[in-house]
Amino acid sequence: MNEILNKMKQMRLTGMAKAFHLTLESGKNEKYTPDEMISHLIESEWDERYNRKLDRSVQAARFRYKASPEQIAFDDKRVDKNQILRLADCEFIKRNENIIITGSTGIGKSFLASALGHQACALGNRVLYQHSTKLFARMKIAKADGSYLRELAKIERQQLLLIDDFGLQPLDAQSRSTLMEIIEDRHGKSSTIITSQIPVSKWHEIIGEQTIADAILDRIVHDAHRIEMKGESLRKKRQPKNEEQIELENLKN
**According to the model, what pLDDT value does residue 251 have?**
36
**According to the model, what pLDDT value does residue 252 have?**
40
Question: In the predicted model, what is the mean pLDDT of residues 162-172?
Answer: 94
Of 26 and 41, the structure prediction assigns the larger pLDDT to: 41
Q: In the predicted model, is pLDDT for residue 6 greater than 80?
A: yes
**According to the model, what pLDDT value does residue 237 have?**
55
Q: In the predicted model, is pLDDT for residue 38 greater than 90?
A: no
For 233, phi and psi rounded to 5 degrees?
-60, 130
**According to the model, what pLDDT value does residue 20 have?**
84
**According to the model, what pLDDT value does residue 98 have?**
97
Q: How far apart are alpha carbons 247 and 253 in whole angstroms?
A: 10
Q: Element (H or E) spanning 112, and its range?
A: helix 109-122
**According to the model, what pLDDT value does residue 50 have?**
86
Question: In the predicted model, what is the mean pLDDT of residues 167-175?
Answer: 93
Name the residue among 91, 93, 92, 110 with its Cα closest to residue 101.
Answer: 110
Q: Average pLDDT of the chain?
A: 87
**Which residues make Cβ contacts (< 8 Å) with residue 26, sequence separation at least 6?**
none
Q: What are the pLDDT digits (tens) for 51-108?
A: 888 888 888 888 988 888 888 888 778 889 999 999 999 999 999 999 999 999 888 9
Strand pairing class (99-102; 225-228)? parallel
Q: What are the pLDDT digits (tens) for 122-145?
A: 999 999 999 999 999 999 999 999
Of 88 and 36, the structure prediction assigns the larger pLDDT to: 88
Question: In the predicted model, what is the mean pLDDT of residues 103-123?
Answer: 93
Most confident of 38-47, 51-60, 114-123: 114-123
**Structural domains of the chain, with CATH:** 2-60 (no CATH), 69-237 (3.40.50.300)
CB 88 within 8 A of CB 225: no
Long-range contacts of 57-63 (CB under 8 A, 24+ apart): 57/121, 57/125, 57/126, 57/127, 58/118, 58/121, 60/126, 60/127, 60/128, 61/117, 61/121, 61/127, 61/128, 61/129, 61/162, 62/128, 62/129, 63/114, 63/117, 63/118, 63/129, 63/162
Question: In the predicted model, what is the mean pLDDT of residues 217-221?
Answer: 92
Rg over CA atoms, the chain: 24
Question: In the predicted model, what is the mean pLDDT of residues 26-36?
Answer: 77
The 3-state DSSP composition of the chain as helix, strand, coil percent (nearest 5) reads 60, 10, 30
pTM above 0.85, yes or no: no
Q: How far apart are alpha carbons 110 and 102 in whole angstroms?
A: 10
**According to the model, what pLDDT value does residue 29 have?**
65
**According to the model, what pLDDT value does residue 233 have?**
67
